[in-house]
Amino acid sequence: MIFWRKLLMNPKNLNALSYFVLIFLLVMAFAIINGKAGSLEPNLPPGPTMVTLSQLSAKIDALSSPVEKVVHGTITLPLTTTEQAVEVEQTLPVVVDPNHCVVLLSDSVASDHLSSSPSYWESRTGAALTGFTTTTIKVKGEGLRTTQTVSYQIIQYK
């Protein structure tokens, strides 16, 4: 701050700075007035490395929806007499490509206690994907002394 104050307080420096600003503004004004842009109308068709608008639109459409199909379902794990984990394999309603899929399992394992009065729901985390093929899904859940329901969602991308 002190440097600029000393620079601007000296009349010789102020005079040189004024000339510099004036010359800069004149050059900018000259460039704006005489500057010309080329024609916006092309005179030739697209070159070999260029892409037409229809080709570009097709690429954008392909990228905008990478999801090919979504499969939803639930797997019911049977009740166990001990708290050992149980594993169930289920056939999928459609054929999927496991190499282009993401499988999401529910965050919790839910179980309905109908035998108690009144009935209540119990849930806890404890489901894992242990197998996945083109036609089947295999889930392993922590053992509870009641049935467990695990929901899944399979997202197949292009």
CATH code of the domain containing 141: 2.60.40
Q: What local confidence, expressed as pLDDT, does residue 97 receive? A: 92
Q: Which comes out higher in pLDDT, residue 114 or 141?
A: 141
CA distances from 89 to 11, 70, 124 (A): 90, 19, 21
13 and 90 together in one domain: no
State the pLDDT confidence band at 94, using cuts at 50, 70 and 90.
Answer: very high
Do the domain assignments include residue 57? no
pLDDT reading at 93 higher than 80: yes
How far is Cα 68 from Cα 4, in angstroms, rounded to an integer? 64
Whether the model clears a pTM of 0.85, i.e. scores above it, the answer is no
83 and 136 together in one domain: yes
Do the domain assignments include residue 14? yes
Q: Could you tell me where the DSSP H helices lie in 91-143? A: none
pLDDT reading at 137 higher than 90: yes
Question: How many domains does the chain fold into?
Answer: 2
How far is Cα 62 from Cα 157, in angstroms, rounded to an integer? 11
Do the domain assignments include residue 50? no
18 and 69 together in one domain: no
Do the domain assignments include residue 41? no
Residue-wise pLDDT for 8-46, tens only, equals: 666 666 677 777 888 898 888 888 887 776 777 777 776
19 and 95 together in one domain: no
Q: Which comes out higher in pLDDT, residue 143 or 137?
A: 137
Q: Range of 152's domain?
A: 65-157
Q: What local confidence, expressed as pLDDT, does residue 51 receive? A: 73
69 and 30 together in one domain: no
How far is Cα 74 from Cα 90, in angstroms, rounded to an integer? 9
146 and 111 in contact (C-beta within 8 Å)? yes
- % helix / strand / coil in the chain, to the nearest 5? 30, 35, 35
